[in-house]
Chains A and B, each alone.
Chain A
Amino acid sequence: MEVDYSTEAAVVEGNLRLAEIDRIISRPIEERPGKKYLLALSISSSFLLIGAICVGLTFFYGVGMWGNNQPVGWAFGIVNFVFWIGIGHAGTLISAILFLLRQKWRTGVARFAEAMTIFAVMTAGLFPIIHTGRPWLAGYLTPYPNQHGLWVNLNSPLVWDVFAVSTYFTISLLFWYIGLVPDFASLRDKTISKVKKTIYSVFSLGWRHSNRHWQHYEKAYMILAGLSTPLVLSVHSIVSFDFATSILPGWHTTIFPPYFVAGAIFSGFAMVVTVLVFVRKVFDMENIITLNHLERMNKIILATGMMVGYAYGMEFFIAWYSGVQYEQFVFINRAFGPYAWAYWTMVSCNVIFPQLFWFRKIRRSVPAMFIIVILVNVGMWFERFVIIVSSLHRDFLPSSWGMFVPTLVDLGILLGSFGLFFTLVLLFAKTLPVVSISEIKAVAPGSQPSHAGNHNE
């Protein structure tokens, strides 16, 4: 196939005028919600309600409502936590790292991905609290001065988690909000509703699109991008320390930090693609969130999928190479033991199916990529399940071995976490611009001065 590398592919397609871009992006916010939207919202909020009921049951009766037991102290709760934290990785990666690398194409998807990050981290953040035996004492996990002279145990990775996740959440939220400020101003200027105008005025912090504002804005954005970049890498590294610093075979592995980060980006991008496939269709944004965007993300999925696959292989190699029989047993047990089905689900979803993205046609086919990214989402959930449950259920002493079977409450909370996430995503799509209005204008064809001087307008 011939590709013309001499000119850069347009980020925004269809020769849109700037006013048109404004209109396309702000239309979902201005129009009344349609039937499809309300249907989607009612489904996701029903899931949320199921989840809320199950969490209520857990709070009332105890964690015993879940399937956790003696060898398997952590199961769905922590699986969901790590899964959602992973989902929350694409957003910041796209906005911060790709921003620093001057990848223009990021603009089309950055806002949405960032929003997903925030919602995913919010969803994830619930789990460490609800999985504890006495959630009303979860405050003990934060260091606060008290007359007992008690302090958190800074040796424990769970405390590092608290810091890592809350920092990540704060920075992501700020980053997202800073990006939103000029858009709030645009919306404020456009709207005729008084209520909306007041709200947008408050959130736009008096933005007047002045040169000075833009100068400050660019600097602040750059600084936050610089701050977020190490966080993208650190959060999941620290989450992986929960496992890597323990002595449990199958957890105690030095490969975990990079492996977890790659996995997180992998699953994060898969989730972004899953959602954007719908968003661009429903909101007629195919010209702004183009197939090129999706293809690029699919390439990242392919790359990170192979990193994850490498990690799977390396874990086995190290288990064999270490000569530690517990380690060897855990991996053989993973692949051939009672949870082998989960292991092979994980391997096929995460390593085998993404290989189809080597083909350009599949990379650019929306239905094909949708199926693959859904499989990746499933696979990445199972990856955490395999790591956590299959390592715990048979560890050192054969006498303590056991099996984990999830209960309905476990499944309800898992469902509820999706309900929460998608409810937030849906609300976001209807209340805030899903693509950065100001930034997309900057990358629209013709917005940059060029030698040729051929303005498309």
Chain B
Amino acid sequence: MSEVKESLKNNLVPEKVEPTYWKSFKELHNSNEFIEASHHEFKDGVTDEFELSKLSHLSRRKFLALLGASAALAGAGCADYRDKGEIIPYTKKPEEIIPGKANYYASFSNCCKCRCGILIKTREGRPVKVDGNPDNPVSQGKICAKCQASILGLYDPERLTSPLKKARNGNFEKISWKYVDSEIRNALLKSNGKGIAIIAHTINSPTALSVLEDFRKKYPNTRIYSYELFSEEIKNSAWKKCYGDSQFPLISWDKAKVILSLESDFLGSEGNHIENARLFSNGRDVNNTNKFNRLYVVEGNMSLTGMNADYRLRLRPDAQFEFVMSLLNEVGRKINVDVAGNYKLSSFAKKYSLSLKTLKYIIDDLMKNRGAAIVYAGNSLSEKTHIAVNYLNEILGNKNLYRNETVSLHPYSTKDEWSELVSSMNSGRVGAVIHFDSNPVFHLPSDSGYKHALQKVDTVITLTELESETSLLGNYTLPVNHSFESWGDAKTRTGFYSMQQPVISPLHDSRQKEAALLCWIEKDDFEYKENLYHEYLVKNWQENIYTGLKAGLPFKQFWLGALHDGVVIFNENIPSTAGFNNSALADLNSTADVSGFAVVLKESYSIGDGRFANNGWLQELPHPVSKVTWDNYAAVSQATAKELGIDTNDYIEITIEKRKLKIPVLVQPGSADKTITIESGYGRTKSGTIGTGVGFNTNVLLTSAYGLSHWLFSSAQVKKAGGSYEIVTTQEHQSFDIELLKDAAQKRGIIREGTVNEFLKNPHFLHENSEHKLDTFYPEFPYKDVKWGMAIDLNKCLGCGECVVACTAENNVPVVGKEQVKRGREMQWIRIDRYYSGSVEEPSVSTQPMLCQHCDHAPCENVCPVAATTHSPDGLNQMVYNRCVGTRYCSNNCPYKVRRFNFFNFRDNFNDGYQLDNIFSLVYNPEVTVRSRGVMEKCTFCVQRIMEAREIATREKRKLRGYDVKTACQEACPTNAIVFGDSNDKEAELSKYRNHNLGYHVLEELNVRPNVTYIAKLRNTHTEEV
């Protein structure tokens, strides 16, 4: 070839240089024809029809000018662009806002009395996600599901948008704050002679307390009442009798080697369960198996704590006193301490058919671990049970596990105070009642007569975010700020203050509730300012709190630092536990009457005391044990169900004295016989579209004249009520009696477990019987840089479901409603699978978070006809929404069934397009596509976070590392059970888990090569078998 070229060059056109690039042989050979042609711009014939006269008379310039003018006319003239006054582009950009980049602000949430520290992620000034504030010494970066979901409350389309006043016809009508202020000031002055009652939940803000004090100064007849539907009241009163201090201490769960939990759900719904879970799981570290704690749970119904027990006994809660007394007697005999009564553990075991072996283990362990064990009684148990438990801990020397760090700024009102309030309301001695973001009509026992008495009060003011049962009965319903729109401070523990700051200006015409009070103490011509409470807060801190802290910083600097951190940490003495007051033991001489049915009311895991009823994310969060959504139910044991002649979904009627409740049952494996456990907070009659009429109101069973405790009733009567209801779960009810279905998860190796002893003896026990290596005849794909993987430690996973809500919030997962959950169409990308094994009476429970496993050989990918799901070079299984036609073949072929299909446009479908409201759509994460109907979706390993980290790494000219990314579920997990990272990085924490002796993959044998490693659960039993 080169020779030919050479000769051509020499012979034919010697004077021309051979071109380096050539388009045709003619050009290559530089023929004359080509040279000739190259002198003409156009090829022959192209310009034949070009005639100047025939062209348009418009010049190019003129054409462009006309084009521009018409476009401008169309743009300006035809668009309905009204100047809304606020939409101005940044001519001067706010210093801290960079479009597309999130800002984080430290604050705390008002969602419960714990006041956990949060970090609010905002995008372009709009809050989009809440996570824990790592600087907060209690929550340490973790928050509960309610707090995660509180962002939805901010954008609840049904939040009150302006003050309402009840008109003569009974309807509420809009009114402006100006009139509200003057009317209320007059009313308050008028009723000053009588009395004013302010009814609040827990008050733990020093500044709010000082506002209330100021209010009382202006209106001296004001009294402040405070309550919680669920509290540690009884525990605290027992503590006071035993040790004199009015606050039950916190427990150092991390230091406990043996935990005996009596009817207490300390990992699920009691106390600061996020902190409890973190401390508890410290004793469940697979890399430190020698220090595993052992959890005994004795309870009436399977709770989240019970699911995680190493040994679990079922016992009706009203027999707990007898149980503790038997333990006390047994322990007393061993260490020569005189204990009241003559209880014998063996006869107790016989009476309630408990395993004597397990009881012996309990005694042995408590005796062996004196000083490192804790007996912990649940909030619902009676006072004397608490006294007995305190005494048991006392004689076992477990006092050093107590941390006296709880702080109470304002005590809860007592039974007597409430009855006094109601009687003075009835007799017209109360002129005004202010509901300080509380809902006593729903929460207080109906026999307290509060609802009735409220009608005798002239002025009833309800400060609230959403209309409620209480607001309906008042004259004024006034909108208050969401906690993300509020300023505040809180003191819940010794050693630090928490700070709250708004991250968005109020969306509606609402006020901070403290500011409303401040406004009403002023004179009539006082003009409300938005920063009213802010100024008050700063002043209060500068004058009262700052001085006491000796911070050593100028105030301004101190204040900004405090807001930045969200906490102010300082040195404060932690009081030590006083000596045991033996006079408390007198209460132990009585015997408990155990008869009829025991009924226990518990706080709902998801919607709390009913405050979160209007939150779709929480209503749809499956119950951690039963997987029920959108309902509460009466949990009963199978034997009890048989005795009553009922099954799941049938109604029963519970009668306690004269109070009745009709509610459907759910047969709960592991429930104690003759025990009925119901979660409260449901059955709201006035909430929003979502919360109204969901479930059954259990508060009708409450009474102000209780025997054992607010929440525990003995000698209840229960009968079949006829009719049935439909309780909806996200998991089929498990069968215990069909051999084929029994323990299916264990037989299939989906759940693999062992015991600590077994592991210590043979660390390789899990893989000893595993089959030969799985091969493939396809070449392995080389994952060069990062390859994403996840590990989930089932020893730490408690099955709480915080990750589910975090994922929902991060990934714009829609709410589908009860009807669709019933059809099996829930959309959550991560689910917590719960498997029972063993007998229906004494089941052992295993939980397993299940999400897209991002298989290397993903079976979903090769069946998609349009290649809408593909694999990325960093090991992610991707979904291309735009390409998805919706054949659902991928879901059929997914062995884990983790893909979720948009059968409808769920945002449109649920409750008449509730989720299409303009306000609602503000909650969406701008980095994640909102999916349309007919599209498949699934866990993406938070690909948007990966991409963000990759961008940062690229900008910083470094390699992307596995630890640069944290998934939403990982961030939310209170026990850090989820580890995410680069599985190619041998040094990473992830590798420790992926190559752990206890690591396994679910459905390994299918050879789909999943990328989520599960760490097998070890049960800390005495023997080697599970």
A114-146 contacts to B, CB under 8 A, are 128, 131-134, 137-138, 140-141
A interface residues, tally (CB under 8 Å): 53
| A151-B867, A398-B741, A399-B835 given; A70·B862 CB < 8 A | no
| A62-B933, A70-B901, A399-B745 given; A247·B859 CB < 8 A | yes
Which residues of the partner chain B approach A151 to less than 8 Å between Cβ atoms?
867
Contact of B888 (CB < 8 Å), options: A68, A248, A400: A68
Instruction: Give the segment of A156-164, A200-208, A284-292, A360-368 that binds chain B.
Output: A156-164
- Determine the residue in chain B with the shortest Cβ distance to A69: B824
B934 x A69 contact (CB < 8 A): no
B1006 x A399 contact (CB < 8 A): no
B670, chain A: closest CB distance, angstroms: 18
A247 x B740 contact (CB < 8 A): no
Which residues of the partner chain B approach A155 to less than 8 Å between Cβ atoms?
862-863
A128 and B886 CA atoms in complex are apart in Å by: 11
Asked whether A63 is an interface residue with its Cβ less than 8 Å from the other chain, the reply is yes
- Determine the residue in chain A with the shortest Cβ distance to B1006: A247
- A-B contacts besides A64-B909, A133-B886, 12 pairs, CB < 8 Å: A62-B905, A64-B903, A73-B889, A133-B903, A150-B883, A153-B862, A325-B747, A332-B740, A336-B740, A396-B896, A396-B1003, A399-B834
Q: Bits for A395-425, please: 1 = Cβ < 8 Å to B, else 0.
A: 1111111110100000000000000000000
Asked whether A316 is an interface residue with its Cβ less than 8 Å from the other chain, the reply is no
Instruction: Give the segment of B143-151, B598-606, B650-658, B825-833 that binds chain A.
Output: B825-833
Which residues of the partner chain B approach A258 to less than 8 Å between Cβ atoms?
none
| A70-B824, A248-B892, A398-B744 given; A62·B862 CB < 8 A | no
Asked whether A46 is an interface residue with its Cβ less than 8 Å from the other chain, the reply is no
A138 and B734 CA atoms in complex are apart in Å by: 39
Q: Bits for B714-757, please: 1 = Cβ < 8 Å to A, else 0.
A: 00000000000000000110100000110011011010000000
A134 and B864 CA atoms in complex are apart in Å by: 14
Asked whether B588 is an interface residue with its Cβ less than 8 Å from the other chain, the reply is no
Asked whether A74 is an interface residue with its Cβ less than 8 Å from the other chain, the reply is yes
Asked whether B895 is an interface residue with its Cβ less than 8 Å from the other chain, the reply is yes
- Determine the residue in chain A with the shortest Cβ distance to B749: A325
B888 x A73 contact (CB < 8 A): yes
A399 x B892 contact (CB < 8 A): no
Asked whether B900 is an interface residue with its Cβ less than 8 Å from the other chain, the reply is yes
A155 and B864 CA atoms in complex are apart in Å by: 8
Closest 10 CB pairs of A and B: A133-B886, A133-B934, A64-B903, A73-B888, A69-B824, A400-B897, A399-B833, A158-B865, A134-B934, A64-B904
- Determine the residue in chain A with the shortest Cβ distance to B896: A397
Which residues of the partner chain B approach A242 to less than 8 Å between Cβ atoms?
889
Main secondary structure on A side of the interface with B:
loop
A and B contact pairs by CB, cutoff 8 A, 18 listed? A62-B904, A64-B903, A68-B888, A68-B903, A69-B824, A69-B825, A70-B901, A72-B824, A73-B889, A141-B885, A157-B863, A242-B889, A397-B833, A398-B732, A399-B731, A399-B848, A401-B732, A402-B824
B748 x A325 contact (CB < 8 A): yes
A397 and B849 CA atoms in complex are apart in Å by: 12
A132, chain B: closest CB distance, angstroms: 5
- Determine the residue in chain A with the shortest Cβ distance to B867: A153
B825 x A133 contact (CB < 8 A): no
B3, chain A: closest CB distance, angstroms: 41
A396 x B883 contact (CB < 8 A): no
Q: Bits for B455-494, please: 1 = Cβ < 8 Å to A, else 0.
A: 0000000000000000000000000000000000000000
| A62-B903, A70-B891 given; A158·B863 CB < 8 A | yes
A70 and B825 CA atoms in complex are apart in Å by: 6
Which residues of the partner chain A approach B897 to less than 8 Å between Cβ atoms?
70-71, 395-397, 400
B934 x A156 contact (CB < 8 A): no
Q: Bits for B905-938, please: 1 = Cβ < 8 Å to A, else 0.
A: 1000100000000000000000000001111100
Asked whether B866 is an interface residue with its Cβ less than 8 Å from the other chain, the reply is yes
B741, chain A: closest CB distance, angstroms: 7
A385, chain B: closest CB distance, angstroms: 15
A153 x B864 contact (CB < 8 A): yes
Which residues of the partner chain B approach A403 to less than 8 Å between Cβ atoms?
732, 824
Asked whether B209 is an interface residue with its Cβ less than 8 Å from the other chain, the reply is no
| A150-B883, A246-B859 given; A396·B905 CB < 8 A | no
A336 and B735 CA atoms in complex are apart in Å by: 14
A74 and B867 CA atoms in complex are apart in Å by: 19
A397 x B850 contact (CB < 8 A): yes
Asked whether A353 is an interface residue with its Cβ less than 8 Å from the other chain, the reply is no
A422 and B507 CA atoms in complex are apart in Å by: 61
B934 x A62 contact (CB < 8 A): yes
A156 x B864 contact (CB < 8 A): yes
Asked whether B1008 is an interface residue with its Cβ less than 8 Å from the other chain, the reply is yes
Asked whether A326 is an interface residue with its Cβ less than 8 Å from the other chain, the reply is yes
Asked whether B39 is an interface residue with its Cβ less than 8 Å from the other chain, the reply is no
Asked whether A9 is an interface residue with its Cβ less than 8 Å from the other chain, the reply is no
Asked whether A110 is an interface residue with its Cβ less than 8 Å from the other chain, the reply is no
Interface residues of B (CB under 8 A from A): 731-732, 734, 740-741, 744-745, 747-748, 750, 820, 823-826, 831, 833-835, 848, 850, 859, 862-867, 883-889, 891-893, 895-897, 900-905, 909, 932-936, 1002-1003, 1006, 1008
Asked whether A333 is an interface residue with its Cβ less than 8 Å from the other chain, the reply is yes
For B831, B900, B934, the residue with the greatest tally of chain A CB atoms inside 10 Å of its CB is B934
Asked whether A85 is an interface residue with its Cβ less than 8 Å from the other chain, the reply is no
Which residues of the partner chain B approach A248 to less than 8 Å between Cβ atoms?
892-893, 895
A244 and B1003 CA atoms in complex are apart in Å by: 19
A86, chain B: closest CB distance, angstroms: 20
A3 and B959 CA atoms in complex are apart in Å by: 88
Asked whether A152 is an interface residue with its Cβ less than 8 Å from the other chain, the reply is yes
For A73, A132, A162, A402, the residue with the greatest tally of chain B CB atoms inside 10 Å of its CB is A73
- Determine the residue in chain B with the shortest Cβ distance to A249: B895
- Determine the residue in chain B with the shortest Cβ distance to A151: B867
Which residues of the partner chain A approach B887 to less than 8 Å between Cβ atoms?
128, 131-133, 158
Q: Bits for A312-338, please: 1 = Cβ < 8 Å to B, else 0.
A: 000000000000011001001100100
B824 x A71 contact (CB < 8 A): yes
Which residues of the partner chain A approach B896 to less than 8 Å between Cβ atoms?
396-397, 400
Which residues of the partner chain A approach B936 to less than 8 Å between Cβ atoms?
133
Contact of B850 (CB < 8 Å), options: A71, A332, A399: A399
A52-100 contacts to B, CB under 8 A, are 61-64, 67-74
Which residues of the partner chain A approach B747 to less than 8 Å between Cβ atoms?
325
A247 x B893 contact (CB < 8 A): yes
Which residues of the partner chain A approach B744 to less than 8 Å between Cβ atoms?
329, 398
A153 x B865 contact (CB < 8 A): yes
B1010, chain A: closest CB distance, angstroms: 12
Asked whether A392 is an interface residue with its Cβ less than 8 Å from the other chain, the reply is yes
B901 x A73 contact (CB < 8 A): yes
A326 and B750 CA atoms in complex are apart in Å by: 12
- Determine the residue in chain A with the shortest Cβ distance to B933: A62
Which residues of the partner chain A approach B892 to less than 8 Å between Cβ atoms?
73-74, 246, 248, 392
B833 x A133 contact (CB < 8 A): no
Which residues of the partner chain B approach A131 to less than 8 Å between Cβ atoms?
887
Which residues of the partner chain B approach A64 to less than 8 Å between Cβ atoms?
820, 825, 903-904, 909, 933
A159, chain B: closest CB distance, angstroms: 5
A272 and B896 CA atoms in complex are apart in Å by: 42
Q: Bits for A368-406, please: 1 = Cβ < 8 Å to B, else 0.
A: 000000000000000000000000100111111111010
A398 and B733 CA atoms in complex are apart in Å by: 10
A397, chain B: closest CB distance, angstroms: 6
Which residues of the partner chain B approach A153 to less than 8 Å between Cβ atoms?
862, 864-867
Which residues of the partner chain A approach B905 to less than 8 Å between Cβ atoms?
62
A156 x B889 contact (CB < 8 A): yes
| A152-B866, A156-B862, A248-B893 given; A329·B883 CB < 8 A | no
| A62-B903, A137-B885, A402-B732 given; A246·B835 CB < 8 A | no
B893 x A246 contact (CB < 8 A): yes
- Determine the residue in chain A with the shortest Cβ distance to B823: A69
A453 and B36 CA atoms in complex are apart in Å by: 85
A20-65 contacts to B, CB under 8 A, are 61-64
For B834, B895, B936, B1006, the residue with the greatest tally of chain A CB atoms inside 10 Å of its CB is B895
